[in-house]
Every structure is written in structure tokens, then in C-alpha cells.
Structure 1
């Protein structure tokens, strides 16, 4: 498994344009939220407990993020849990409203992503490596943390791999 720095640096190679990163600040959370809305309708019975697909996704994602970084795993776990809580009322809607909102938000999030990659002039990272789909939410989170002045050492390590950002 690649290190946190390798994962973020590789993903960053596809995201050097500030306009691309900006579209990702909105697009990626929308995609994750929509996926959670859609996955929450999948019921998985485990002994006397029933979990849903969204809960399983959040748990698996948090475990992966914790393997990369304890502190970032915690942050991502909290963020994904907040999105999960917000997704539950939509998952509880009747079929057509649930599906319309879930698919609509998902498509809108991807439209934002592709607009960003138009500005970037590069294809999305997941085209070359599917792990980019799970690194994307972590990447936008650390980019926000970098802007807030946190994780300066990590920022330097990521930029050493990905190179400087451009306008």
C-alpha cells in the first residue's frame, strides 16, 4: 500500500490548477453525499442488527483513511459520518424522490469535476488508478486544511511529488 504522501502526491499530479481544486471542493462532497443517499437503501442483516450500505461504506472508508493517517482518519470519519446523517432522511423518502435526488446530486457533482478537469487540461486521476475515487475526498479535505495553515509538513511532501499549483 502506498503511503499517505504517495497517495496524495499522485492524486495531486492531476490537480494543480486552483480552479480544478475549487470545483472539487464542491463536486467531491456532493458525489460522496449522493453515493451515501443511494447506498443507504441497501439493507444488510448481520445477526440481530441491520446495517445499510452507506454505513458499511463509511466504515470501510474510515478504516482505509486510518491506515494512512490516524488524525486524518479521524477527521474523515467525522466528515463522512456527518454526510451519512444528512443522507439518511433522503434515503427514507419514497422511491422516486430518493432516486431523483441521489442521481441528480451525483451527476451534478461529476459535472463539476469534469468542468474542473477541463480547466486542468488533464483527465481525472481515477482513470489511471481507481484508488483515486477514495483518495479524492481525502485530497480536498487536506487541501482545505492546507489553506487553513494545518499539516504544513504534509503539504510540502505532497507538493514535492505533485509540483507547484498554478492559477
Structure 2
């Protein structure tokens, strides 16, 4: 099974400058895992490897500013019913489930393993955001339309 063609964006996007409070801001890096971002992955999203460096730059900038970095990780047990839809992918402990090498989480980062599309469903993400006093969430990553 393959994903739809990559969304085409204008060559230049103008963004408003935002004033964020780093201690109340988290960067959520969604599912940049080998099975999705590596051409050898089981559900490779065509061209995904091109976004790794820009995401790394964003992670580095957020980390330097003191924002919390949170990674979501699609994470399935063997025989997960979801495999009937998408085929086997992101199996717990497998190479495919690992976050890509270029974006390996640091020791102060949070990794949220999720058994379904929704990063809030059956995870501790809500608890982390509330406990850390996060008021602003910045999203980046892969396949946000299904994650």
C-alpha cells in the first residue's frame, strides 16, 4: 500500500513571527521512523527523507531555546489488527519502529509510543503536557494526516 502523492507547497512561505515562551512550549515530532522515512521502510512515504534535515534544524533551535521536545513513535505489537489495513509496520522493538538516526531523542526529550493514529489515545501525552505546563504545541513530522 502506498500513500497519496506528497502535498505541494509554494516555494516560499511567509510566516508571522511568533513570540513563544520556551518553558511553556513543546515541539512535537510526529512519527519520523524508519518504516516511514527510509526508502527500505515498510510504509515508506515517498520523499520523506527530504524533511529530516529541516526537522533536525527545528529540533536543534527549539532545544537551544529551552522548549520541550516530544517525539511520537508509532508502536505496534505483533499481530496488531491495524496491520489488516496498512500491513505490518512499526513493530515494537524493530528497526522500522525506531526514530531515524538523524533525529534520535536526547536524554531530556520525551518519547510517546502510540498504538494508534492519535498521539493522545492510550498514551501519557496529555499528562506530560499538563505536568510540564505546556501552553503552546508546535507540530512537525511525517504523515500528520493519519497520525
Whichever of the two has the greater Rg, that structure is 1
* TMscore range, shorter length: under 0.3
